[in-house]
Amino acid sequence: MVTPFTTPKLTSPCFHSLFCRKIPLPIYSPLSSSFLSLSKTLNPNRRLPLSHSRHQRRHFAAVRAESDNGAESARRYDFDLFTIGAGSGGVRASRFAANMGASVAVCELPFSTISSETAGGVGGTCVLRGCVPKKLLVYASKYSHEFDESHGFGWTYDTEPKHDWSTLMANKNAELQRLTGIYKNILNNAGVTLIEGRGKIVDPHTVDVDGKLYTARHILISVGGRPFMPNIPGIEYAIDSDVALDLPSRPGKIAIVGGGYIALEFAGIFNGLKSEVHVFIRQKKVLRGFDEEIRDFVAEQMSLRGIEFHTEESPQAIVKSSEGSLSLKTNKGTVEGFSHVMFATGRRPNTKNLGLETVGVKMTENGAIEVVDEYSCTSVPSIWAVGDVTDRVNLTPVALMEGMALADTLFKNEPRKPDYRAIPSAVFSQPPIGQVGLTEEQAIQQYGDIDVYTANFRPLKATLSGLPDRVFMKLIVCATTDRVLGLHMCGDDSAEIVQGFAVAVKAGLTKADFDTTIGIHPTSAEEFVTMRTPTRKIRKGPTSEGTPDHEAKAPAGV
Ligand SMILES: Cc1cc2nc3c(=O)[nH]c(=O)nc-3n(C[C@H](O)[C@H](O)[C@H](O)COP(=O)(O)OP(=O)(O)OC[C@H]3O[C@@H](n4cnc5c(N)ncnc54)[C@H](O)[C@@H]3O)c2cc1C
């Protein structure tokens, strides 16, 4: 989640070989010859892909110099691009490549809300088991806090509002069905051939989908990842995030193991929906890699809402009692009486049984595909990889950017590297977090002299709601250039607010630019343009000055 300010350094001859050595210029052909060259292994009754009948397609070097020793043999492929996995990255790359005139096929596993070796669905993790269903459940769970807030504004209810779990699940699942349909339409309208089944690479230009072989000039691996759970006794009783998003009933008491963003988001969801929530983290603090003050602040605010954090506790076993309740045994003791134990302990790339070892695609220790250059090429020059399977920055917009950049690189004749600088991100905890740029710790390491501006205040809404809600905001400024290096917020609407400010941080604007911007009043966001005095000045030398800014935000903005 934490995003580097600089592009990762990657070096490889892969891109150079693609553009400078081997590949002839794209050949324009009004009727793609790739259709004519469909492999004999394809179903002979297969209909002409819409793309080929509807559009005039450019054909990208379907005839290609194959040998490295100069003895060039012509080879034809079924497709210019064959994508394995129709999640965020795969759909984006395939659609854009097809729009650029390439003949494209994508294979994807059959639909299921719970992923497995044999189930997935068009749209991928974000749409079916990640961002979208998660945010829908966040919306559902926020109401309870809003009901609590409403009393101070004069609302009373004769009876406590009731929540119907099955309505929420049914409506959420109907929306997922609608979205997977939309994604299929997007691919269809772009002229991409969608093949349902499990893809496996057979050789650098051939993919096997459930026994049928398809050849392609380029293969894109965009298979994403799946939840990972440690192999402790009783792990079969635990659920992962896929299952947690699709439970048949509300948990009475849930243990969530993990201190990352997914763990905190689910803690907020179940807490808001009135489950008793315990979070178990191995470390002292949640959200490793985030700004230290944000880590402290969010945990404090979540505790105030009734979530119990068990820090420095590693689970060792799950035990099921005769009446069905679960106990979690940790290094510090045993907590009993859980209806559910959820593990949010990371994800692993879906690289098993993909044929990668056979064709020589290099992988990292945790099974992620190693990209050997900044253009998402793998160690096999005709095979490319984008998204979570590469374990670079595992976020949907990043997978989209990588997919789009790859389409430009391969089919637009405009080689483009994904730009990893100042990627904004959010945690949809309650309260939520938004951040862009460097943490204070990273800024000190990279720039030495920085000024830190913070505000920790009671938002206007809390003055009448009477709830202990607060907001924390932070600007990190380079003391020598005045450039804003990092911007962090925890409080209502922070994801929405930080998305706007991310433009300024990415553009390299200075604190002076922020200061000359007029605030929108009364908002919490205006604090980012009205922070006048640094909370601390950090210099390479020993002197640090400044005052902590823990005053209540002036209600009338004066
Ligand atoms: C609970 C949760 C919440 C998240 N929340 C956010 C968020 O708020 N914001 C954000 O930016 N990101 C979020 N993410 C991360 C985001 O979902 C991923 O970064 C993104 O989906 C990655 O896209 P991708 O294309 O790499 O892979 P995926 O979207 O995972 O797509 C991979 C696809 O490949 C298919 N597949 C796998 N193997 C094969 C095979 N052999 N053959 C055919 N198909 C195959 C899979 O079925 C899947 O559909 C969240 C993730 C989770 C789990």
pLDDT 10s digits, 219-267: 999 999 999 999 999 999 999 999 999 999 999 999 999 999 999 999 9
Q: What is the pLDDT of residue 74?
A: 54
Q: What is the pLDDT of residue 149?
A: 98
For helices 165-190 and 88-99, the axis angle rounded to 10 degrees is: 30
Average pLDDT over every residue of 485-502:
98
Instruction: Give the position, in ligand 1's atom list, of the atom nearest the Cα of 88.
Output: 25
Ligand 1 pocket mutation, candidates 126, 202, 245, 494, criterion most atoms within 8 A of CB: 126
User: Are the beta carbons of 465 and 155 closer than 8 angstroms?
Assistant: no
Which residue's CA is the closest to the ligand 1 atom numbered 51? Answer: 130
- Each residue of 114-164: pLDDT tens digit? 999 999 999 999 999 999 999 999 999 999 999 999 999 999 999 999 999
Summarize the annotated binding site for NAD(+) as residue ranges: 258-265
Which residue's CA is the closest to the ligand 1 atom numbered 53? Answer: 130
Taking the C-alpha atoms of residue 227 and residue 87, their distance in angstroms, rounded to an integer, is 15
Name which of 47-61, 321-335, 374-388, 429-443 the model is least confident about: 47-61
- Each residue of 346-374: pLDDT tens digit? 999 999 999 999 999 999 999 999 999 99
Ligand 1 pocket mutation, candidates 210, 223, 247, 358, criterion most atoms within 8 A of CB: 223
Give distance in angstroms: CA of 400 to centre of ligand 1: 11
Give distance in angstroms: CA of 454 to centre of ligand 1: 35
Instruction: Give the position, in ligand 1's atom list, of the atom nearest the Cα of 223.
Output: 34
DSSP of 454-475: EEEE--HHHHHH-----EEEEE
Which residue's CA is the closest to the ligand 1 atom numbered 45? Answer: 85
Give distance in angstroms: CA of 224 to centre of ligand 1: 5
In the predicted structure, residue 40 carries a pLDDT above the cut 70: no
User: Are the beta carbons of 409 and 102 closer than 8 angstroms?
Assistant: no
- Residue 83 phi/psi, 5-degree rounding, is -105, 130
In the predicted structure, residue 438 carries a pLDDT above the cut 90: yes
At 540, the pLDDT band (50, 70, 90 cuts) reads confident
Instruction: Give the position, in ligand 1's atom list, of the atom nearest the Cα of 403.
Output: 25
- Each residue of 416-433: pLDDT tens digit? 999 999 999 999 999 999
Q: What is the pTM of this model?
A: 0.88
Q: What is the pLDDT of residue 179?
A: 98
- Each residue of 271-315: pLDDT tens digit? 999 999 999 999 999 999 999 999 999 999 999 999 999 999 999
In the predicted structure, residue 25 carries a pLDDT above the cut 60: no
- The SS3 of residue 313 is coil
Percent of the chain topping pLDDT 70:
84
In the predicted structure, residue 36 carries a pLDDT above the cut 90: no
User: For domain 424-538, which architecture applies?
Assistant: 2-Layer Sandwich (3.30)
At 39, the pLDDT band (50, 70, 90 cuts) reads very low
Element of type H or E holding 14: helix 14-16
> Which residues face 326 on adjacent strands?
320, 338
Q: Name the residue among 450, 453, 441, 439 with its Cα closest to residue 535.
A: 453
Query: Where in the sequence of the chain do the CATH 3.30.390.30 domains occur?
Result: 424-538
- Each residue of 85-116: pLDDT tens digit? 999 999 999 999 999 999 999 999 999 999 99
In the predicted structure, residue 556 carries a pLDDT above the cut 80: no
Give distance in angstroms: CA of 86 to centre of ligand 1: 9
Other C-beta atoms lying within 10 Å of the C-beta of residue 407: 26
For all residues of the chain together, what is the average pLDDT? Answer: 88
Give distance in angstroms: CA of 395 to centre of ligand 1: 8
Q: What is the pLDDT of residue 393?
A: 97
- Residue 472 phi/psi, 5-degree rounding, is -125, 130
Which residue's CA is the closest to the ligand 1 atom numbered 30? Answer: 224
Query: Where in the sequence of the chain do the CATH 3.50.50.60 domains occur?
Result: 79-154+163-227+348-412, 230-344
Give distance in angstroms: CA of 333 to centre of ligand 1: 35
> Which residues face 206 on adjacent strands?
203, 215
Taking the C-alpha atoms of residue 412 and residue 404, their distance in angstroms, rounded to an integer, is 11
For ligand 1, which residues put their CB under 6 angstroms from it? 84-90, 107-109, 115, 120-121, 124-126, 129-131, 134, 198-199, 222-224, 241, 262, 350, 354, 387-389, 394-397, 399
CATH classification (class only), 230-344: alpha beta
Which residues form the catalytic set? 521
User: Are the beta carbons of 92 and 400 closer than 8 angstroms?
Assistant: yes
Other C-beta atoms lying within 10 Å of the C-beta of residue 516: 9
Give the residue, 41 or 193, on which the prediction is more confident. Answer: 193
* 3-class SS string, 50-119: HHHHHCCCCECCCCCCCCCCCCCCCCCCCEEEEEECCCHHHHHHHHHHHHCCCCEEEEECCECCCCCCCC
Instruction: Give the position, in ligand 1's atom list, of the atom nearest the Cα of 115.
Output: 47
CATH classification (class only), 79-154+163-227+348-412: alpha beta
Give the residue, 38 or 124, on which the prediction is more confident. Answer: 124
Which residue's CA is the closest to the ligand 1 atom numbered 35? Answer: 85
The residue assigned the tokens 């691009």 is 81
In the predicted structure, residue 22 carries a pLDDT above the cut 50: no
In the predicted structure, residue 529 carries a pLDDT above the cut 80: yes
Summarize the annotated binding site for FAD as residue ranges: 135, 199, 346, 388
Query: Hey, what are 475's tokens?
Result: 């600007």
At 322, the pLDDT band (50, 70, 90 cuts) reads very high
Element of type H or E holding 335: strand 333-338
Which residue's CA is the closest to the ligand 1 atom numbered 27? Answer: 224
At position 472, the amino acid (one-letter code) is F
In the predicted structure, residue 490 carries a pLDDT above the cut 70: yes
Q: What is the pLDDT of residue 413?
A: 87
